[in-house]
């Protein structure tokens, strides 16, 4: 059996968490990632019949029965994933309609998955219903997007339009826009349910005064999605206090729709 440390999905998870920490998105133990894995790719590296222990999840998700996930651990620092992946990451399989998670590898210090695990799994259910290829849910605290929620209207159309107007690529990268939640208590099923509902119509969900959730087909796509929105928020903060002389017009964005074969969210362009 191959070494789990050589598994492409683990190598990429380590690279991504390290990159996110270096971007300043995941201070201390902030942020978490879950990656949906296929049984056959896990079986190349682990004996999937061997369960180390079982961890209650605190929610139900029958849609994810038998599914495998690589998940960052609770209270773990992204900067430490590279040096101790077996402590800071874990591979689990959901059973009992999602009420239990069987640990197959990782969390070797006795830990468990992120406290945002319910929010992640609920978002996976929502995104898989929209796009069966969705394999990643990523949560982090990008400073500019977070700061933007203190000074910008949280109306989703207004928030999206501002980001679209900051960078030409934004409407191309996330034509469905950005959804926004007002401040809610983190680590609860309530915020998980609210986030999952928002995930039905967009791959980016901003948690006001907290951070952002992103979803995508793989780690690179999801990272790039958040990175693009964060860059737009950075530009907004640099110019928000200045008189606006130029912008990307709705007419220009319609041209981008035609050029790149995308469709902006209905009603978001004039």
Residues marked active site are found at: 116
Alpha-carbon distance of 146 to 233, in angstroms, equals: 9
Per-residue b or e along 204-219, where b marks 16 or more CB atoms closer than 10 Å to that residue's CB: bbbbbebbbbbbbebb
d(CA 72, CA 193): 20
């Amino acid at each position: 059996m191959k070494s789990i440390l050589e598994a492409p999905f683990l190598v990429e998870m380590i690279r991504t968490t390290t990159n996110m920490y270096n971007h300043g998105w995941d201070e201390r133990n902030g942020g978490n990632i879950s990656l949906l894995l296929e049984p056959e790719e896990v079986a190349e590296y682990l004996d999937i019949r061997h369960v180390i222990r079982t961890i209650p999840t605190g929610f139900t998700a029958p849609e994810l029965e038998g599914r495998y996930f690589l998940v960052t651990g609770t209270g773990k620092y992204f900067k430490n994933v590279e040096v101790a992946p077996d402590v800071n990451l874990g591979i689990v399989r959901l059973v009992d309609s999602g009420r239990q998670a069987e640990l197959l590898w990782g969390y070797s210090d006795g830990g468990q998955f992120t406290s945002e695990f319910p929010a992640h799994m609920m978002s996976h259910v929502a995104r898989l219903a929209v796009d069966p290829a969705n394999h990643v849910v990523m949560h982090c605290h990008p400073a500019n997007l977070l700061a933007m929620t203190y000074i910008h209207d949280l109306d989703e159309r207004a928030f999206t339009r501002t980001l679209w107007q900051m960078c030409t690529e934004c409407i191309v990268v996330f034509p469905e826009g950005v959804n926004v939640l007002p401040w809610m208590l983190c680590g609860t099923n309530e915020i998980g349910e609210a986030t999952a509902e928002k995930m039905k119509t967009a791959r980016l969900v901003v948690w006001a005064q907290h951070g952002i959730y992103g979803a995508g087909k793989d780690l690179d796509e999801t990272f790039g999605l958040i990175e693009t929105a964060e860059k737009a928020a950075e530009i907004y903060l640099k110019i928000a206090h200045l008189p606006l002389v130029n912008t990307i017009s709705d007419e220009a964005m319609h041209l981008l729709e035609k050029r790149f074969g995308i469709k902006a969210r209905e009603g978001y362009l004039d």
